[in-house]
Amino acid sequence: MLKDQTMSVVFDGNPLKAMQSSHTHTAQTALSAQELSQEIKSFISGVDTVQGRKLSVREHARCAVRLLRSVPACRGAVLEHLRGVYDEHVSAFLHNLETEGDGSSGVSSNLEDIIQEVHGVLSEFIRLNPRAWAPLVSAWAVDLLGQLSSKHAGRRVAPHSSSLNELLQLWMSCAATRSLMEAYSQCLAAMLAWCPDACVDALLDTSVQHSPHFDWVVAHIGSAFPGTIISRVLACGLKDFCSHGAKDQGLLVMGADKGSRVPKIGSVVGILGHLAAHHSDSIRKELLRMFQESLTPSSPMSPTSSSTSWENSPQLRRAAVPFLLQLAAMSPNLFGAVSAELVELLRPPVLLHLQALLQGLPREELDNMLGLAVHLISQSPSGGARVLRFLADTATPASVIISGPTPSPHEGVREGCDRLLQTLLLHLHKLVFNRMDGSEVSPHHSASSQPQRVIPFLEELQSHIGELCAETLRLERKRHLWLHQLLCLLSVYGGPSVATEAFCQLLTQARNPEELALAWQLHTTLSSCIAGLIPAAVARCVAQIHTHTLGPRQLRQLLLNLAAAIQSQDEERRGAAGVQSSMAIQVGSAVSGHLHDFGPLLLHGDPAVSHAAVRLLSCSPLPRTSSPAHLLLLSRAAVTHFFLALRRRGEGGKVGRDGGQAGEAVNWSVLLLSRFAAYSPLTLKAVLQQLVEGALHKGNAELFGGQIADMSGAPVTSPSVSPDLGASLLDINCRFGTTVNFSGSVWSVFHAGVIGKGLKVRTAANLPDPSGVIQNVQTLLAVIVQCCSSSGLNGSINGSRPPSDPDEPAPINAEAAKVIAVTLVENVCPDVANGELSWPPEEHARTTVERDIHIRRCFEAHPVLFPLLQVVAAGRPALCYCSAVLRGLLATLLAHWEASRETLSTDSPWHLQASCLLVSCMGEGQLLPPVLANVHEAFPHLTPFEVRLLLLAVWEYVRGNGPMPQKFIFSSEKGLFCRDFSRDGDVARYVAPIHSVLHKNIDRLGHLCWRFQL
Amino acid sequence: MGDIRQSLLPRDVLSAAKELLYHLDIYICNLVQSGRQPPQVDSKTLELVEEFILHAPKDRNTPARRMSALQELQLLEIMCSCFQEQSRDTVRQLMFSALFSLQGNQADESRMALLSKLVSMAIAVGRVPILECAATWLQRTHRVYCVRLAQVLVDDYCSMVPGSGPTLQNIHSASPRFCCQFITAVTTLYDLTSEELTPPSELLQMIVSWIQDDPRLVLITFLNTPLSGSQPISSLEVTPLGGLVRWCVKAPLAYRRDKKLPLTNGTSESETEAGPLFSALHLSVLQVFMLLPNILNEKGLFGRLALLQMESLATLTSDLSRLLDQADKHTHTSSADTQALSQLTLDRLAQALQVAMANGALLCAREDLRAICSRLPHNNLLQLVLSGPVMYYNNIHTPPLAFSPHAAHSPIASHPPHPAHPAHAPHTPLAAHPSSHPQYPAQPFMTGMPFPFRPSH
């Protein structure tokens, strides 16, 4: 079909001509034997034997054609003669071109019709009997084409042999060569059916003979018959390659063009390159097929392969792989076509065959091939990742490949791959670093204009960094070493952005110290060439956090890794200083610059993430300067996280396994808070304030054994529990005056219930796990104490305070205690009226009954208040600022004990405990002298009334000696504020009731007498 | 003659060849005139021919000189005229054999190539002397080479150059001897075993027309050759009769087999033509057989010379049985058609056997025939032939076709042949014969069975 098309395009009306000639042949056969004999004579001599004159070229050619039609024996001679005619035409044609066709076109046009005539006859013959004529004509046409194209290659108009397309254009515009080409195509089309080999072999033999000048023919034919030509061209190239041996390879790899010494492979590359434009698919299939065929064990007489094919020669089969490599090295097009699918083909059986094949080669040749393969891989623009994975998979020792996609390969194959991989790495290393050297040196040389050499393999891998990192981190025996090396190369090659990416990936993906160590190794390698890697990486991580590109697990891992990085610094300080020191410090400083970015993660919904965040924050150094807004935000987050951690610990304790982690989280949180508090007065204040507020907050109260209190301080009944009291807002509003909460006034005592409905129902306090509560309270206290005791207020962050006695707790900072005290008062005492520090006479307490009850309720609802008070007390003179609270509580206690009709104080345990704690606190806070402060020891042994007496004495003393901070003096040797009671009034007058009570109960209190000595 | 080598060496290829031819001519003339018997060309001369005309490499060191196709054509032209101009037949023959007798060395290839071209050209330009010489060559040469020559000629004239068939047709009138040998070679070449070994229809037509025109054509070589018994071993048979019989017998099966093959080019036409052609050919062959007794008797060879060889018949029948088996196996669809063709084949075989035996072309005992035909399927006519002719004029108990003095007086032999029965299909009356006796169903031949039509003495 193709044939017909081209024919009708190029030689219009040719079939018609053929028909005409077939009609006329009867006339020609009418030539008698005598005439034929004359014709032959004329033909041989070139002289018209009848008329005795010389034949013109045309007449001679006509005569030849007549003979061709009538005397079979003249066939060879006629064809040979026609060569001359064609050659003449080509000469005339080219000459015409060279002289720009100035009127001298007579000769060429004259011969053109003869050539058409010849062509008509030949194509008619081929059409009528392809079997007989096609081999003959094809051989002739090809040979003549080769002769013509190489003979006229040197002509001025002829383009250089390397520009196939121009050549093609030139020759196809010449009638003679075009006619030959047509005839050959026709033959080939006819012969494809039964013996394509012979035909193409002739073509290629000619191609070799007239090597570069003939390529246009092969290319043209090839694009007309891609399937046949491609495989044949390859086979032919292979044969030639085999016969030339591998000795030229080395030269070719280096790109040294040896001109005429380039064997057939150059032509093969040229031809295939030309075909690749339109038939890359067939070429790829053919190349891959060649590869596969060369490896499949040969059946001695396989019926499928054609008789002359290379598959039957073991030598050629062996040469196929080197040949393909060579081919790929010479033509990026071809290589690109194959590389993608080649890797897919390399299954274990294929590899085994390959190995068996290569074993037979001499060492030098193998080295050559290795170099070639490495060169190819490094230059391959796509599929690098797959190649790499394949190499690594195959080269990894079998024992480690447990469930790889491919079963473990043969040991020899593995070693081969190993070697290949290492050579590749070495090669890349050279490329990368030479390139850098080149670019550095370039200013001194003329090479400055030369752009940096691109390494396609690395270019492509840059987009696979994530996978590479993941692979590396799998820490498979040798594999990660290779990949790590490759990562280094990639980073150096790609510059800071790639390095950052890689480092960042490693930081995100590493799951344990060993894996993380890879990141440090990478950094160590890169630190020499890339500056500022760590800050950039951290910044990038932060960016990822902000864009939410990381999942919770990754996020957590990243935070933990960063934390581990920073902590390694501490370890070093203890142990041997390693390479990581500078890095740990760098990481630390980089992280500290982004603390506010990590802060919000403390409250991340995933406990694991928040846990990791607290760990990171707790160990990261704090920035030298930071804006207050950031600090406040951070402190709020930290405190919130603290309570969250406590809650999780409580919940986790029940579940079991997570308990440990939750506990750890609490510890980290405590550490974070204390460090943070120590950072600056602002943070200290913020932290403490929020801690106290948080502890008293509704949501957290239960953590510390508290009950949720309503406005009035009474525990709220849960809706389900409380019976409907029938109280409606309307009713209450109708009864004017009863609903208004005149807080602080005597009429507004509603806390006991709605009048007429009886007392409020107290909810049965469902106290949570007491041990948990105790633990929580302890933790809270610990954190508060730590915050308070770190002398952050004095400016030094860490290490400045000499640990004089490690067992002795550090003194509570007064300023910090004051913050707590003030916060306590703000939270517990709702009313600022009567908030002065000095105490009124006890009778005046009546005016503040409402507020006092509220305060007492608060203390009831929040058991944690007493420990907090104790802390405040320890930070003298901060307790003074709690004066209102103390007073209110004492007032309610006095009222209770006065009203109590119990026989023993122990019958109202809470009040007893509250009384004891209150007094001891005041003693600790040095609001009371030791004598008075000790009275609480006697409380449990007394009657309520006696307790009241003693408390009254306390009241009296405080009223007499107001709790004023001014009364405290800083003693530098203790590092504390102390109150010198001797400056105050005589204590004795307040001690009298104590002594009376002692006397009264001397039988039970004898052992306490010494406590009340003045 | 050997001393001219030195003078030839510096010449160019063509003139050296020309000069050698010239010298050869003179040398052979001298040889013939010297009257030495038998005239023998010495080996030195043969070597010169090989070196300067055939351009066989003399030794490994010197590269063979080659002529271009044009030079070769000139040389051929010179040879043509040379043979044409040489008036003495003996000289021509000697020269021809000096040039083209196969020597069993590596020059034979180029010798064959040159010979083929020469003969092809001689046919084109009608050089009778060359054809005569070639006819002799065909008689003396191993059949393999004869077949090759025939192949080249058939290719040249029947397939390569369209419209050149008539030129070949002319050899009939130009050189009947050559024509006869050509037919023998062609029938040897094309044994109908495969598509490639089926004669081109043009050739078939040509041969049929030749034989129809002149049945004696096939016997010309036989007639002209003094039977010295010194036939070279493995040369072609004396007549193409064996090959022609094979063609006729196998044709129905062979062409039917071809029909099954998917043929693209217009062989379907030739198929349709082939049937009648082979029928006509069969008739002609039978007629030639009928001519034989007179000729044989003239030569005194009746019953002594078998023109049909028993071995080739055996090969034919075994081929047939295989083909028929295949036909049975493979064609269930057109069984009626197949059956008819098989029967036609067997009919033709039986007819050929009968006529050949009756006319002394086939010398064998009926037992032998039965043996070689035992594996063939049933055919009424064949059954009749095998079981024995109704030879009322012959003694049934003696082997009928062994040479006997009675044979000369056999009625058939004395009957003048009637070649003018063309409208009468030769097998129809015979084929009708068994059908009138339906009590004899299809069954293999059984020797022990009494033959009911055997006349009882």
Q: Do A72 and B73 touch (CB under 8 A)?
A: no
Q: Which domain holds residue B105?
A: 1-59+66-136
Q: Do B120 and A72 touch (CB under 8 A)?
A: yes
In a domain, A369, yes or no: no
The fraction of chain B above a pLDDT of 70, given in percent, is: 77
Residue A760 has pLDDT above 50, yes or no: yes
Alpha-carbon distance of A984 to A268, in angstroms, equals 114
* Shared-domain flag, residues A10 and A127: yes
Greater confidence (A693 vs A328) lies with A693
Which residue on chain B is closest to A41 by alpha carbon? B77
Residue A476 has pLDDT above 80, yes or no: no
Q: Do B163 and A75 touch (CB under 8 A)?
A: no
Least confident of A60-74, A398-412, A628-642: A398-412
- Amino acid identity, position B60: R
Mutation test of the interface with chain B: which of A23, A71, A127, A131, choosing the one with the most B Cβ atoms within 10 A? A71
Which residue in the set B124, B126, B162 is minimally distant from A128, CB to CB?
A: B162
First-to-last C-alpha distance (Å) of chain A: 130
3-state secondary structure of A728: coil
Give residue A303's pLDDT band: very low, low, confident or very high (50, 70, 90): very low
In a domain, A1000, yes or no: yes
Alpha-carbon distance of A206 to A210, in angstroms, equals 6
Alpha-carbon distance of B224 to B177, in angstroms, equals 9
Which ipTM score applies to this complex? 0.78
Residue A557 has pLDDT above 70, yes or no: yes
Per-residue model confidence (pLDDT) at position B146: 92
Residue A96 has pLDDT above 70, yes or no: yes
Q: Is B117 on the interface with A (CB under 8 A)?
A: yes
Which residue in the set B69, B124, B155 is minimally distant from A71, CB to CB?
A: B124
Per-residue model confidence (pLDDT) at position B2: 62
Q: Is B422 on the interface with A (CB under 8 A)?
A: no
Of the residues A165, A192, A219, the one at which a domain ends: A192
In a domain, B349, yes or no: no
Which helix (H) or strand (E) is A201 found in, with range? Answer: helix A196-209
In a domain, B130, yes or no: yes
* Shared-domain flag, residues A891 and A788: no
Of the residues A166, A192, A218, the one at which a domain ends: A192
What are φ and ψ of residue A709, in 5° steps?
-105, 150
In a domain, B180, yes or no: no
Per-residue model confidence (pLDDT) at position B183: 93
Greater confidence (A156 vs B325) lies with B325
In a domain, A49, yes or no: yes
Span B28-54, pLDDT tens digits = 888 888 877 777 788 888 888 888 888
Q: Do B164 and A68 touch (CB under 8 A)?
A: no
In a domain, A275, yes or no: no
* Shared-domain flag, residues A848 and A953: yes
Which residue on chain B is closest to A35 by alpha carbon? B125
Task: Count CA atoms within 13 Å of residue A889 on its CB side.
Answer: 29
Q: Is B173 on the interface with A (CB under 8 A)?
A: no
* Shared-domain flag, residues A70 and A165: yes
Mean pLDDT for all residues in chain B: 77
Q: Which domain holds residue A917?
A: 814-1012
Residue A567 has pLDDT above 90, yes or no: no
Q: Chain B: nearest CA to A134, how far in angstroms?
A: 10
In a domain, B27, yes or no: yes
Place of tokens 């067939």: A282
Place of tokens 């068994």: B434
In a domain, A426, yes or no: no
* Shared-domain flag, residues A782 and A844: no
Span B344-388, pLDDT tens digits = 889 999 999 889 888 888 888 888 888 888 888 888 888 888 887
Mutation test of the interface with chain B: which of A19, A20, A34, A40, choosing the one with the most B Cβ atoms within 10 A? A40
Distances in whole angstroms, Cα of residue A752 to Cα of each of A748, A761, A829, A917: 11, 9, 19, 25
Residue A192 has pLDDT above 80, yes or no: no
Q: Do A73 and B166 touch (CB under 8 A)?
A: no
Per-residue model confidence (pLDDT) at position B133: 92
In a domain, A118, yes or no: yes
* Shared-domain flag, residues A935 and A953: yes
* Shared-domain flag, residues A786 and A822: no
Q: Chain B: nearest CA to A264, how far in angstroms?
A: 26
Q: Do B125 and A25 touch (CB under 8 A)?
A: no
Alpha-carbon distance of A90 to B416, in angstroms, equals 71
Which residue in the set B68, B118, B160 is minimally distant from A129, CB to CB?
A: B160
Span A825-861, pLDDT tens digits = 888 876 666 667 888 888 877 778 888 888 888 888 8
* Shared-domain flag, residues A659 and A798: yes
Give residue B420's pLDDT band: very low, low, confident or very high (50, 70, 90): very low
Which residue in the set A22, A68, A81 is minimally distant from B70, CB to CB?
A: A81
Chain centroid to CA A28: 85
pTM of the model: 0.56
* Shared-domain flag, residues A937 and A838: yes
Give residue A695's pLDDT band: very low, low, confident or very high (50, 70, 90): confident
| Structural domains counted in chain A | 3
**Of A221, A103, A246, nearest in space to A171 by CA:** A221
Span A156-177, pLDDT tens digits = 777 776 677 778 888 888 888 8
Q: Is B156 on the interface with A (CB under 8 A)?
A: yes
Residues of A with CB under 8 A from a CB of B: 22, 25-26, 28-29, 32-34, 36-37, 40-41, 43-44, 68-77, 79-81, 124-125, 128-129, 131-133
Give residue B414's pLDDT band: very low, low, confident or very high (50, 70, 90): very low
> Alpha helices of A656-789 — where are they, by DSSP H?
657-677, 681-696, 698-701, 729-734, 770-789
Of the residues A138, A172, A192, the one at which a domain ends: A192
* Shared-domain flag, residues A162 and A15: yes
* Shared-domain flag, residues A804 and A826: no
Per-residue model confidence (pLDDT) at position A436: 61
Q: Which residues of chain A are within 8 Å of residue B126 when distances are taken between CB atoms?
A: 32-34
Distances in whole angstroms, Cα of residue B392 to Cα of each of B385, B389, B413, B456: 14, 8, 14, 10
Alpha-carbon distance of A748 to A887, in angstroms, equals 20
Task: Evaluate whether B301 touches B408 at the Cβ level (below 8 Å).
Answer: no
Per-residue model confidence (pLDDT) at position A15: 42
Residue A933 has pLDDT above 90, yes or no: no
* Shared-domain flag, residues A786 and A858: no
Q: Do B162 and A124 touch (CB under 8 A)?
A: yes
Tell me which residues of chain B, numbers 67 to 86, contact chain A at a CB-CB cutoff of 8 Å. 68-70, 72-74, 76-77, 80
In a domain, B283, yes or no: no
| Structural domains counted in chain B | 1
Per-residue model confidence (pLDDT) at position B186: 92
Per-residue model confidence (pLDDT) at position A720: 43
In a domain, B195, yes or no: no
Give residue A253's pLDDT band: very low, low, confident or very high (50, 70, 90): very low
